[in-house]
């Protein structure tokens, strides 16, 4: 085979006007056109063929069940990024593993295995979104993350519920068969709760209406998804049919105010007088843990019973204490301290955070009730001035952060090159 040198010339100026035998593009429309005996192929079609061959060589969970990631392997991978939350990690590991097996036995057995969608409940900063982002790194199935706050009923301004399927289809390179066995994480599911546990008398297009629209989608239906990847359906636009009966849905939400609902249900008797039950603050807090959540609590919060029934696996993420936050600062692969250390190393500066400094940062995060998400904000504020000065200060070699620096009693300690040599 020989390769033609191509130039962007109009067809009437090209004596050997050739076209790709596969896509029909002319020689001046592509970078390269490889010609053979009575046939030509362009560089774009060659790249497409390489992608197809790569997909064929990738292990298929429908064919080889021995290569499925076991729950322990998924759990160990989550451990590299997430500190604590043992129950949630085990629950998601088993749910994802069963999702793999559901497709592998679909062609090997007469038994039809239904999916078990998962609901993650936890306060802000406990790692709900991080779970979804970490799972997306290990899974061999298409994975999409959607935000429930942008969803509205069909016909109103905002995203239709089918838009979450569009994102999954895009991540599957518009392979409908592959997308039909993917996983979708819907974040902020609590933001679409209705105002009370009673049905709304007025139209709630971004609350109860979205929940009702999600019912068949989560349970399993054949939805029409825009083939072009647009977020909304338009009249006359081509659509593809996507079966959601085998798509695993994982929903997450902070459910602010849920603890009061759990506590009110847990208290057997309330009132005043000689027969009243007197409880300490610690005892009341013990009764209001997310781990005690029940389906009726979700209904009281504003999630319709039909949607609660379609999320049978409910797992709670616990509040992070100081010890867990200290580990989050340093141990995970994407730990906050590691990120700032890497950024300062690009300027030739070493970052040192003492043990008492780490504990003071964790204490502040617990005090502010921001969880792990608040750790970055604390460090950003402390290191703002040093990061501003570091690129222009060639003598700066190290920045030390201790307890007093975090508490605001003094500025970050800057060690200069001459001072280090003298020491």
Domains in the chain: boundaries: 2-57, 65-258+286-316, 322-422
More confident residue, 28 or 2: 28
Fold of 322-422: Helicase, Ruva Protein; domain 3 (1.10.8)
pLDDT digits (tens, 9 = 90+) for 138-148: 877 888 888 88
Characterize the bridge pairing of strands 118-122 and 40-42. Answer: unpaired
Segment among 74-83, 320-329, 398-407, 411-420 with least mean pLDDT: 411-420
For Cα atoms 84, 93, 241, give the angle at the middle one, nearest 5 degrees. 130
- Is residue 12 pLDDT above 50, yes or no? no
**Structure tokens given for 88:** 């949630």
Q: Give residue 267's pLDDT.
A: 62
Strand partners, 223: 242
Residue 233 has pLDDT above 90, yes or no: no
Q: Tens digit of pLDDT for each residue in 250-259?
A: 999 888 888 8
| 146 DSSP β-pair partners | 186
* Percent of the chain scoring above 70 in pLDDT: 78
Structure tokens at 145: 């993350």
| C-alpha distance from residue 268 to each of 29, 237, 287 (Å) | 76, 58, 11
* Tokens encoding 322: 């100081």
CA pair distance 135, 50, nearest whole angstrom: 27
DSSP 304: -
Q: Who has greater pLDDT, 196 or 71?
A: 71
- Element at 383 (helix H, strand E): helix 373-389
Alpha helix (H) ranges present in 160-257? 163-171, 176-179, 208-219
- CB count in 10 Å sphere of residue 210: 27
Q: Does the pLDDT at position 59 exceed 70?
A: no
CATH superfamily of 65-258+286-316: P-loop containing nucleotide triphosphate hydrolases (3.40.50.300)
Q: How confident is the model at residue 416 (pLDDT cuts 50, 70, 90)?
A: confident
Assign 200 a pLDDT band (cuts: 50, 70, 90).
low
Q: What is the pLDDT of residue 361?
A: 93
User: Does the pLDDT at position 203 exceed 70?
Assistant: no
Asked if pLDDT for residue 352 goes beyond 90, the answer is yes
* Better-scored residue on pLDDT, 2 or 153: 153
Cα separation, 13 vs 23, in Å, equals 22
Q: How far apart are the first and last CA of the chain?
A: 69
| Angle in degrees, 0-180, between the axes of helices 86-104 and 71-79, rounded to the nearest 10 | 140
pLDDT at 285: 53
pLDDT at 4 over 60: no
How far, in Å, CA of 405 to CA of 357, rounded?
A: 8
């Amino acid at each position: 085979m020989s390769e033609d040198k191509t130039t962007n010339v109009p067809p009437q100026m090209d004596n050997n006007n050739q076209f790709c035998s596969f896509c029909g593009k002319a020689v001046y429309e592509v970078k390269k056109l490889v010609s053979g005996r009575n046939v030509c192929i362009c560089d774009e079609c060659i790249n497409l063929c390489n992608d197809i061959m790569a997909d064929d060589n990738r292990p298929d969970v429908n064919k080889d069940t021995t290569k499925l990631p076991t729950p322990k392997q998924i759990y160990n991978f989550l451990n590299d990024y997430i500190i604590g939350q043992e129950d949630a990690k085990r629950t998601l590991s088993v749910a994802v593993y069963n999702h793999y097996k559901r497709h592998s036995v679909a062609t090997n057995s007469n038994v039809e295995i239904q999916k078990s969608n998962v609901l993650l409940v936890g306060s802000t900063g406990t790692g709900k979104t991080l779970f979804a982002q970490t799972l997306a790194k290990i899974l061999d199935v298409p994975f999409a993350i959607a935000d429930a706050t942008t969803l509205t009923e069909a016909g109103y301004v905002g995203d239709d519920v089918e838009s979450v399927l569009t994102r999954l289809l895009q991540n599957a390179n518009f392979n409908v068969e592959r997308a039909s066995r993917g996983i979708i994480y819907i974040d902020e599911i609590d933001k679409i709760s209705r105002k009370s546990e009673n049905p709304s008398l007025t139209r709630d297009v971004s609350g109860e209406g979205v929940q009702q629209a999600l019912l068949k989608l989560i349970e399993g239906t054949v939805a029409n998804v825009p083939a072009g990847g647009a977020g909304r359906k338009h009249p006359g636009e081509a659509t593809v049919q996507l079966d959601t009966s085998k798509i695993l849905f994982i929903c997450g939400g902070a459910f602010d105010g849920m603890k009061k609902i759990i506590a009110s249900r847990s208290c057997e008797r309330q009132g005043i007088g000689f027969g009243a039950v007197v409880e300490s603050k610690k005892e009341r807090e013990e009764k209001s843990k997310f781990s005690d959540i029940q389906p009726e609590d979700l209904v009281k919060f504003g999630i319709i019973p039909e949607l609660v029934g379609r999320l049978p696996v409910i797992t709670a993420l616990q509040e992070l204490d100081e010890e867990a936050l200290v580990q989050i600062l340093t141990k995970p692969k994407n730990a906050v301290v590691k990120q700032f250390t890497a950024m300062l190393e690009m300027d030739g500066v070493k970052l040192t955070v003492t043990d008492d400094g780490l504990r003071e940062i964790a204490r502040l995060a617990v005090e502010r009730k921001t969880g792990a998400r608040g750790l970055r904000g604390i460090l950003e504020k402390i290191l703002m001035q040093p990061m501003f000065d570091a690129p222009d200060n060639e003598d700066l070699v190290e920045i030390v952060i201790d307890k007093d620096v975090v508490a605001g009693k003094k500025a970050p300690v800057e060690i200069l090159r001459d001072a280090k040599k003298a020491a």
